[in-house]
Structure 1
């Protein structure tokens, strides 16, 4: 059973756990458990699994369940576990939501429905989709507003979703000009949407905190550093938060622009948390020069992933 989500939303860092593979691309569930333990030790306020940075698009349905079960068992209720359940099909998403609830997840994260670059859904279709995936389910939903989906989510639509679908109480905003959108959402949705979070590896974290996000949904690269940034900010030490954030900003910017989801795996493998940094083909491998530059940045910032094991 996962820990409960506070009614006022989560504060801190909500890292996305990578899905751990062996060198032959098979699941490494022992490594998955070690990642969960590392993220708890790093001070995470919650852990998200099966997200895009978890390579959810490369997993079978059976593998999804194995990853979720291993994580929930290892976390053992110490922090909430968030499960990404996105699918173009409302039926599939609703079944995944029901399954996540029954297994003990605290929240589900759902993208606006899409398939490829051209199969987008109009506003009325988005509203109907979220009504269907939430119908009869006692689990909170985080709306993922990400550029991967070409289905638009303008502020009035998100506010209407929060107002008309009671389970939609959280939103992860990871689009250009996040801070401006968060401010507009706070004004439009108010108490209907208490949980506002950013993503994109926290590259705009302090401006987003200024705008009203409570937490950052980062990767698993430096969760301990980002947890400290958010804690300082919410304690009223904005200057200290800025200083701590700017210290790790070159590393997370490098991750965001040069490595993507592979960055966390590289650090976790280098530090012995997991046995392999493998991603599933055809995701591109990171070249040796890029890998070393990433590790140099991480070492100079004393990343916990490199010494936790």
Structure 2
């Protein structure tokens, strides 16, 4: 059984003006997501600005989310690193804190070989007993997992159960499903490709858009999984301007701007990320208004 089916939110990390993590606001966001029928919380991923967190902040944020969610929906902790030992430590601590699973991005900057990726992921997974989801996002990491590598890991490591696929290459996704004989929990990592990936056997999405429209994303995936492909396809097509606006600058710059437009007061970004350019804010504002989010 999959860790979750539907739309899980790749949650932002709200910040105070002094750039400290705003845990009171995070508590509010978690409750709003659950009320909006989000199917899982993915904490401390790329959208959560984990790259600029200390290890202590990283784990404090994971523990906070687990404590506040209280088992109502799965909490999946982003514990990937370009250092295998660090990823092992974070993953073990997340399991001890009660995480339902971990999300493991490919090592960035190091650019491991395919054999290196197999060794990296196998080492991490063998140190924990909770499920692990691989995260393939070569546009950000400079490191792509080949479909054969993903298949090898899923077939040979019991608790590697799925992949968040954000390569943008649907042919790649089809190869993954073929090589895994469909025995993998496939999640879209791109909000504009959810329905196409569901059509190839996907079970859901790990979504940036869910930060601002959790029920919409939940309903889109649920419609598809219940067999209402026409409704899901229309929702996917209707969401494209919003998807484009939320990725017109590097994530999570636009989604934090969007949440602030909605009055959520999630604060600023940590350097080197900067505030959204004014002309792009106007594009985002129009897309948000067209979706009746503001």
Fold-level similarity (TM above 0.5): yes
Please report the TM-score for the alignment, with normalisation by the length of structure 1: 0.89
Alignment counterpart, residue 85 of structure 1, candidates 70, 76, 79: 79
1:291 is aligned to 281
Residue 15 in 1 paired to residue 9 in 2?
yes
CA-CA distance at 1:136 after TM superposition: 4.0
1:197 is aligned to 187
Alignment counterpart, residue 185 of structure 1, candidates 170, 176, 179: 176
Residue 173 in 1 paired to residue 162 in 2?
no
Q: Distance between the aligned counterparts of 1:83 and 1:300, measured in 2?
A: 33
2:144 is aligned to 152
1:70 is aligned to 64
**Is the contact made by 1:15 and 1:48 (CA closer than 8 Å) also made in structure 2?**
yes
**Is the contact made by 1:23 and 1:276 (CA closer than 8 Å) also made in structure 2?**
no
Q: Distance between the aligned counterparts of 1:77 and 1:174, measured in 2?
A: 27
Q: Return 5+ residue gaps in structure 1 as ranges.
A: 1-6
Further displaced range: 67-76 or 11-20: 67-76
Query: Counterpart of 1:257 in 2: which secondary structure?
Result: coil
**Is the contact made by 1:225 and 1:248 (CA closer than 8 Å) also made in structure 2?**
no
Matches within 5 A, 1:231-246: 231-246=222-237
**Is the contact made by 2:253 and 2:274 (CA closer than 8 Å) also made in structure 1?**
no
1:3 is aligned to none
Q: Distance between the aligned counterparts of 1:207 and 1:40, measured in 2?
A: 26
2:196 is aligned to 207
Q: Distance between the aligned counterparts of 1:221 and 1:154, measured in 2?
A: 32
1:4 is aligned to none
1:249 is aligned to 240
Matches within 5 A, 1:266-281: 266-273=257-264, 275-281=265-271
Q: Distance between the aligned counterparts of 2:28 and 2:203, measured in 1?
A: 27
Query: Counterpart of 2:162 in 1: which secondary structure?
Result: strand
Query: Counterpart of 2:112 in 1: which secondary structure?
Result: coil
1:42 is aligned to 36
Q: Distance between the aligned counterparts of 1:77 and 1:18, measured in 2?
A: 20
CA-CA distance at 1:185 after TM superposition: 1.4
Q: Distance between the aligned counterparts of 1:47 and 1:262, measured in 2?
A: 19
2:96 is aligned to 102
CA-CA distance at 1:248 after TM superposition: 1.9
Q: How many residues align?
A: 291
Alignment counterpart, residue 121 of structure 2, candidates 111, 114, 130: 130
Q: Distance between the aligned counterparts of 2:6 and 2:256, measured in 1?
A: 22
CA-CA distance at 1:24 after TM superposition: 2.0
